[in-house]
Amino acid sequence: MTTLLTGDLIRAARALIGLSQVELANKAGITQKHLGEFELGKRKITARANEKLRRVFDESKVQFIAANIEASHLDGAGVRWKPQQPNAGIKTI
């Protein structure tokens, strides 16, 4: 099961790749209105929108990370450029 992206993670990943909301929404095939609502936490992201956004981020070599702990919440979640070599101690989400 893929972790659903939070608004903060979407905003951070979008900033990392330098896209506006309009540009990201167009690439992902979702509306800018829904993307803005996801980012602000006004709308819960759907599994389908999550999949579409992750596809764009994956193609852009963005990786979502969190501390490598056994917990249901995301501790230290963030984004980074996908490294050439996997990094032990960081959980990808």
Establish if 12 belongs to a structural domain. Answer: yes
Establish if 13 belongs to a structural domain. Answer: yes
Sign (positive/negative) of CA torsion 83, 88, 89, 93?
A: positive
Range of the domain at 13: 7-92
Establish if 35 belongs to a structural domain. Answer: yes
Establish if 2 belongs to a structural domain. Answer: no
| pLDDT value at 6 more than 80 | yes
Mean residue pLDDT across the chain: 87
| pLDDT value at 68 more than 70 | no
Establish if 47 belongs to a structural domain. Answer: yes
Total domains, the chain? 1
Cα-based torsion angle of the residue sequence 64, 27, 39, 48 in order, rounded to the nearest 10 degrees = -80
Look at the block and give the residue holding tokens 């992750």: 54
Q: Residue 31: which CATH number? A: 1.10.260.40
| pLDDT value at 84 more than 70 | yes
Q: pTM higher than 0.75 for the full model?
A: yes
32, 21 in Cβ contact below 8 A?
yes
| pLDDT value at 59 more than 70 | yes
10, 39 in Cβ contact below 8 A?
yes
Establish if 1 belongs to a structural domain. Answer: no
